[in-house]
Structures are given as structure tokens and as C-alpha cells.
């Protein structure tokens, strides 16, 4: 996939869409038809009880055209080579079977019965990662996620549909003055437990299988869009809640997405990483 396959407007367009994330899984997707699920980009972990009948070519074309039409409304181009991944994700839409990244809850801070944040221990694990450095955050995440989609949808050495896991992570960095995000992001997909020992290798050389070490994170839930301004706000909010924010990395953070970026009420988390 050529990187120019996903385009965005400049800052003016981002302001107009500040509450609508410009990613390939777009909020209008849930309005497609009653038999197409709104959460098709974040779906099963691949344990299909039986192989469904293949969609007709015209059905695949209709799905692609719909995504392209919605994408244009968000100033995102969805290339034609996304047709098969879109079809796979739609076909295997079983949100209740999505595998969650395992962790150990270390502590939780609450106030008036509301969880302010959790401290968690994530174990060593393998992740499929891709780095992007486009002009805007949304451009980078769009391009990266489309490539991850292809890897999940049979474009791997095993030729298998791997299935979605949650959350999808995006590692972000802030500049030296801690005033804005840098252009470089890494989007990471947790390999399902059945593939942790021997992960299928990506057909796309841009995707790298990485071993992530055990990590302690402070996680705070938020809903809605995940553009640059909102991410910076969430980082500041969580840092203010922590008793010892200096124990965390000051330039690297993670945005964790649990629901389809196109859902009306998206569920996300901001993670601050404890220093090793």
C-alpha cells in the first residue's frame, strides 16, 4: 500500500472534525445496514466455528464503495486494496469474542465511587508494530491501522485471519517543550495468545514483530475522539491525578483504543508509563 493512499486536510480540516476521528474505521460505518455491525474494525480473535460463504464480488465492491464514500467525508482516502480486509472484518464481526490484553491490577484510585485511574502490570508479550511519521496524528494512525488490518486479514506467513485483540495501542511522543505531539507514532497490535509463541510473519515489511518487556502503566479512561489536542489534555489530566508523576516517562505515552474508532461513544484510555 502506498502511503499517499490516505490523505488529510490541513489544520483547518482538523478543527472542523475535532469531534470526529479521521480514521479508516469511521463513525458512519455503524449506519451502513442492519446486517453489518458497527464494530467491524475491532472484532473476533479468529475462532470461527465454521467458514462463512464468501461474499459476492458485488458485495465486496459495495462495502469498499461505502467506506470510500464515508472516508471522503472525513478527507481520508481508502485505497482499493483495502477491499478484502474490509470484507474479512465484516464477515468475522464477533465483538464478544475479542481477546483482551492480559494484565494484573496493582491498585486503583477512586473518588466518590468514580475510578480516577488504575495502576496495572502488563507482562512480556509480542506485538505487531508499525511506525508512521506523517504531518498529522490522524494521517499516521490511519495509514498504520490500514496496514495492521491487512496483516490481521490473511496477509501474513500463515495465510490466516488472526482476529482482533483489544486494546489497539498508539505510542505517542511530545516535543522538548512538552507543548505538542511529535509526528512520529507507533501503532501496535497484540498477538492473540495462540500466536504469542510463533507469530505469523507480516507480508508487509513495514510491520515488525516486537517483544515488549513487562511494563507498569497508569491508565485513565476517557471517551470520544483522539486528536492531538485531546491527547495532550488527557496526558495533563492524568499527570495531575498522580501522586508522583515524576516516576513516569515524560516524553512517551500510549493511547489505548477499546472500541471501533467510528462508534458514537468510543472508549479509550491514556497510559502513563512508569520508568523502568
pTM over 0.85: no
State the Cα–Cα distance between residues 123 and 156, nearest whole angstrom. 25
Highest mean pLDDT (candidates 38-47, 117-126, 128-137): 117-126
Angle, alpha carbons 125-140-262 (nearest 5°)? 85
- 129's grid cell: 508494530
More confident residue, 39 or 222: 222
Residue 202 DSSP class: B
Reported as a pLDDT band with limits 50, 70 and 90, residue 75 is: low
Domains and CATH numbers, the chain: 3-97 (no CATH), 99-274 (3.20.80.10)
Reported as a pLDDT band with limits 50, 70 and 90, residue 173 is: very high
What would you measure as the largest C-alpha separation in the chain, in angstroms?
Answer: 57
pLDDT for the residue 42: 52
State the Cα–Cα distance between residues 217 and 274, nearest whole angstrom. 6
- Cα separations (Å) of 54 from 48, 68, 263? 14, 21, 26
State the Cα–Cα distance between residues 17 and 229, nearest whole angstrom. 12
What is the three-state SS of 246-273? Answer: HHEEEEEEEEEECCCCCCCCCEEEEEEE
pLDDT for the residue 242: 96
State the Cα–Cα distance between residues 251 and 272, nearest whole angstrom. 10
How big is the chain, counted in residues?
Answer: 276
Give the pairing of strands 125-133 and 248-257.
Answer: unpaired
State the Cα–Cα distance between residues 145 and 161, nearest whole angstrom. 16
Amino acid at each position: 500500500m502506498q502511503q499517499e493512499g490516505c490523505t488529510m486536510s490541513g489544520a483547518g480540516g482538523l478543527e472542523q472534525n475535532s469531534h470526529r476521528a479521521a480514521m479508516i474505521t469511521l463513525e458512519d460505518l455503524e449506519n451502513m445496514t442492519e446486517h453489518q455491525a458497527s464494530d467491524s474494525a475491532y472484532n473476533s480473535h479468529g475462532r470461527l466455528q465454521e467458514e462463512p460463504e464468501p461474499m459476492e464480488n458485488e458485495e465486496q465492491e459495495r462495502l469498499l464503495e461505502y467506506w470510500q464514500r464515508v472516508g471522503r467525508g472525513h478527507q481520508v482516502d481508502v485505497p482499493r486494496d483495502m477491499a478484502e480486509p474490509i470484507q474479512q472484518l465484516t464477515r468475522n464481526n464477533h465483538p464478544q469474542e475479542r481477546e483482551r490484553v492480559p494484565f494484573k491490577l496493582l491498585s486503583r484510585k477512586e473518588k466518590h465511587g468514580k475510578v480516577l485511574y488504575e495502576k496495572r502490570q502488563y507482562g512480556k508479550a509480542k506485538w505487531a508494530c508499525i511506525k508512521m511519521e506523517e504531518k498529522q496524528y490522524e494521517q499516521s494512525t490511519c495509514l498504520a491501522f490500514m496496514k495492521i488490518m491487512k496483516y490481521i486479514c490473511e496477509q501474513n506467513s500463515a495465510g490466516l485471519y488472526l482476529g482482533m485483540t483489544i486494546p489497539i495501542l498508539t505510542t505517542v511522543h511530545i516535543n522538548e517543550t512538552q507543548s505538542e505531539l511529535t509526528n512520529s507514532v507507533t501503532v501496535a497490535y497484540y498477538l492473540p495468545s495462540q500466536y504469542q509463541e510463533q507469530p505469523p510473519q507480516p507480508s508487509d515489511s513495514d510491520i515488525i514483530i516486537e517483544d515488549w518487556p513487562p511494563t507498569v502503566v497508569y491508565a485513565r479512561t476517557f471517551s470520544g475522539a483522539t486528536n492531538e489536542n485531546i491527547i495532550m489534555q488527557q496526558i495533563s489530566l492524568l499527570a495531575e491525578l498522580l501522586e508522583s508523576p515524576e516516576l513516569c516517562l515524560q516524553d512517551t505515552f500510549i493511547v489505548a483504543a477499546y472500541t471501533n474508532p467510528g462508534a458514537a461513544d468510543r472508549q479509550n484510555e491514556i497510559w502513563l508509563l512508569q520508568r523502568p
